[in-house]
Amino acid sequence: MLRYEEALSKILNSIEVLPACNVYILDAIGLVSACNIYSSEDIPSFDNSAMDGYAVRADDTYNANKNNPVILNVIDKIPAGYTSDFILSARQAVKILTGAKIPRGADAVVILEDTEAVDDKTIKVFKEVKRGDNIRLKGEDVKSGDLIINSGRVLTPADIGMLASLGIPKIKVIKKPEIAILSTGDEIIDIDKKLKEGKVRNSNSYSLYSLVKLCGAIPVLLGIAKDTKKDLKEKIKKALKYDCLITSGGVSVGEYDFVKDVISEMKGSVDIWQIAIKPGKPFAFGKIKNKAIFGLPGNRVSCMVTFDQFVKPCIYKMMGKTYRRKIIKAILKDSYNKKIGKREFVRVNVTKSKDGYLAEVTGEQGSGILKSMSLANGYLSLPEETSFVKSGSVVDIELFDYIEL
Ligand code: AMP
Ligand code: MG
């Protein structure tokens, strides 16, 4: 049976980065830039005051102090957003507010707190200023021609602000993937239906929707397909307009597990089936018309684990990103026994202790015991060859990336 690492690299290699598209900057956060952006302007675009105060000629304030103030004539006032036509001469000042353009002739700003108004037209200045004091120079943040955003960068809130500052409303980014989600099974009913004997509520669509959303992609729910080839074909056909499809259930060896057959009958390929992992062994991966299809097992834990291990890195790749797992060292509280031959993803809860991080197995580890996931905040990923881990061992834990410790 295919080993975990081999399967992951095979799947990842067959996934392509999605094409670029133009989006409004408010929709671009977290997406990957598909272009270099150079500034065509200086920011700020004019010399302006960093403080509320008076624009002056620095030489006029020479030696000014509390006991020996300098007297200046106030000839104008400039609120932010306005300019003055005056040109400052010796012994003159212009009242100026933060962000307003420095008037010609002035070369410094005295802050309001270091002055006193004698009357409407006269101030006392109590502090000497040097040329350039309290002035924000044109281009001090960004110069025309500067590289602002490089292709491949994951856009941050500051990048969005920078684009806005430059008057750029749209940016070319790698498309946000739309991921179709289809549950399968005659026993599966939706959560607004009354639970009849023999039926099971659809939880996989809901956990998968949430997992896809946390990746920064767009989940699209396609409902529940019956365990018939006809219904599966119809629903899978609908999914092909999206960037990829995740199914849950119907990929094992049961009589009604038709997902793989249907992919083949729809002229697709089933490239991978069954991986030496626990939980999640029946996992299938294939393509129809170059659209990736992840056939996840139906069991509620297997479905989430195989998403985390295989689908998530692929969604990141589609978005032009590399998924990096958050790994921490922790001390394993209890011993753990496993069978040789499969990689096992043991769900653990990690807590901080005075000796460092402590990892505790979250009880019964069956592939349908969703509580083992809900109590967990990480995986203890145990290689195929491991058969036993002793209590007190220092182990690597893959933290769930949506959990803060
Ligand atoms: P399957 O892989 O189709 O054999 O399903 C394995 C187990 O997972 C069965 O017990 C199913 O009832 C259960 N299961 C399948 N799909 C879902 C789902 N969408 N929500 C909750 N449980 C499911
Ligand atoms: Mg089924």
**135's tokens:** 């002035």
Indicate if ligand 1 lies below 6 Å from the C-beta of 300: yes
**61's tokens:** 């304030």
Which pLDDT value is given to residue 391?
98
Which pLDDT value is given to residue 319?
98
Which pLDDT value is given to residue 93?
98
Which pLDDT value is given to residue 126?
98
pTM: 0.94
Indicate if ligand 1 lies below 6 Å from the C-beta of 248: yes
- Please tell me the distance from the alpha carbon of residue 38 to that of residue 24, in angstroms, as a whole number: 18
Residues 6+ apart with CB under 8 A from 347: 301, 361, 362, 365, 372, 373, 375, 376, 378, 379, 380
Which pLDDT value is given to residue 59?
98
What is the three-state SS of 266-305? CCCEEEEECECEECCCCCEEEEECCEEEEEECCCHHHHHH
Cβ atoms of 108 and 135 closer than 8 Å? yes
DSSP letter, residue 81: T
Closest of 159, 200, 243, 176 to residue 31, by C-alpha: 176
Which pLDDT value is given to residue 403?
85
Which pLDDT value is given to residue 405?
85
Phi-psi group of 198: left, alpha or beta (phi > 0 → left; psi -120 to 50 → alpha; rest → beta): left
Which pLDDT value is given to residue 184?
98
Of ligand 1's listed atoms, the one at least distance from the Cα of 200 is: 12
Indicate if ligand 1 lies below 6 Å from the C-beta of 185: yes
Of ligand 1's listed atoms, the one at least distance from the Cα of 257 is: 3
Of ligand 1's listed atoms, the one at least distance from the Cα of 282 is: 2
Which pLDDT value is given to residue 226?
98
Which pLDDT value is given to residue 257?
97
Indicate if ligand 1 lies below 6 Å from the C-beta of 151: no
Per-residue pLDDT reduced to its tens digit, 104-118: 999 999 999 999 999
Ligand with smallest separation from the Cα of 199? 1
Closest of 279, 286, 273, 303 to residue 366, by C-alpha: 279
Per-residue pLDDT reduced to its tens digit, 156-172: 999 999 999 999 999 99
Distance of CA 213 to the CA centre of its chain: 10
- Please tell me the distance from the alpha carbon of residue 55 to that of residue 136, in angstroms, as a whole number: 12
Neighbours of 231 (CB within 10 A): 16
pLDDT in 10s for each residue of the chain, 405 residues? 999 999 999 999 999 999 999 999 999 999 999 999 999 999 999 999 999 999 999 999 999 999 999 999 999 999 999 999 999 999 999 999 999 999 999 999 999 999 999 999 999 999 999 999 999 999 999 999 999 999 999 999 999 999 999 999 999 999 999 999 999 999 999 999 999 999 999 999 999 999 999 999 999 999 999 999 999 999 999 999 999 999 999 999 999 999 999 999 999 999 999 999 999 999 999 999 999 999 999 999 999 999 999 999 999 999 999 999 999 999 999 999 999 999 999 999 999 999 899 999 999 999 999 999 999 999 999 999 999 999 999 999 999 998 888
The burial class, CB within 10 Å (0-12 / 13-18 / 19+), for 274 is middle
The residue type found at 157 is: P
